[in-house]
Structure 1
Amino acid sequence: MRDAYNVPSEQEPLQRFLDGVVDPGWLGDWLPEIGQATRAGRRFRRVRVVSLPLTDYSRFGLTYAAFNNEAGEDIRYLAREDAADLPTFDYWLFDSRTVAKLVFGDQDKLLGFELIQDPAVVVELNYQRDAAWHHAITRDDFAAKHLDKR
């Protein structure tokens, strides 16, 4: 949901991306782990809600999402203007029973997360996830329309 995330491990790769270098090596074991998990039958899906025109950070994420998708994760995109009824916060949904609502501080720094297991809230966020998924488009289709448009 955010146009930028201040994640220390991404600062150098982001700068390298802005300098024209795309190297998925900085993702470490994440891509092989996703590949192994998806081959074992687990699903990893994300919808990224982004502002248009894309920020540098969103272009960075969209570029690297190709590697995630290739590994087996399905990352899709939704323009912010098409997400008016969705929650305005980031969350991860695990097994449709547990929500991790991400908590951010100043300068987009991730402070942690709040675990939510209240069934009413979890059901609502499951619904919102499904609505976002329904309206989102594949990473490749979104990239073809927006990646080089500034």
Structure 2
Amino acid sequence: MTTSSKTLGDLFDSFEYEAFRLETLDDYSKSGNVDAYHAYLAGEPQPDDYNAGWVEELRSHTEKGKRVYRVHLLSRPLTDYLCFELGWGYRKNMTGGEEFFILDITDKPNPLPGVPDFWCFDSKSVAVMNYDGAGKYLGSQVLEPDRAAEFVRYRDTALAHAEPFTEWWAKYGA
């Protein structure tokens, strides 16, 4: 897989109108917010400053009219981690203007088998997110621009099969 000299951070700093993320894992608990995840499991209340840095970054983009949105491909029953991510993370990030969609494949075929987690920026730049089998983030790989069309198709397929998070959460949320 050929890569670009740009980094994921470069892509976040330079996107002009949209940043899309596809999430495919049931557990990212080894990748960040580990202390918050343990607090959630212990039944502690969400801290007021939870995800504050990310929410501020989201606002810096969405207040300029840029769209930041994601689809999470999942099936029920939800893992403890997904209950945490959706209940604490998504709901908090929405305050910064991020949009969320759920592609629930419970009792349905997966329309994106084998597609990795990725970010797609302005339909022209893609960073594949790499994780180990336990959900630990191993880094990202920015692809050459000629790969973007493939990932735009993945994005469009995900969105065509997904529903808004708030509607899905009202039916199935923890």
Give the structure 1 partner of residue 32 of structure 2: 9
**How many pairs align?**
147
Give the structure 1 partner of residue 90 of structure 2: 65
Structure 1: 5+ residue stretches without partners: none
Residue type of the alignment partner of 2:35: E
Q: Deviations over 1:28-69 (max 9, x none)?
A: 321122123111111101001112110011111111211212
| SS of equivalent residue, structure 2 residue 50 | helix
User: Comparing 97-106 with 52-61, which one deviates more in the overlay?
Assistant: 97-106
Give the structure 2 partner of residue 96 of structure 1: 123
1:134 corresponds to 2:157 = no
How far is the alpha carbon of 1:8 from its aligned partner? 4.9
Counterparts in 2 of 1:1-150, with a 5 A limit?
1-20=24-43, 21-63=45-87, 64-81=89-106, 82=108, 84-86=110-112, 87-119=114-146, 121-148=147-174
How far is the alpha carbon of 1:99 from its aligned partner? 0.9
Matched-pair identity in %: 29
Residue type of the alignment partner of 2:117: D
Distance 1:133 1:72, change over 3 A: same
Larger RCO, structure (CA 8 Å, separation 6 or more): 2
How far is the alpha carbon of 1:118 from its aligned partner? 4.4
How far is the alpha carbon of 1:6 from its aligned partner? 3.5
Q: Is the 8 A contact 2:111 2:157 kept in 1?
A: no
Distance 1:68 1:57, change over 3 A: same
Q: Which has the higher helix share?
A: 1
Residue type of the alignment partner of 2:26: D
Structure 2: 5+ residue stretches without partners: 1-23
2: distance between equivalents of 1:137 and 1:24? 28
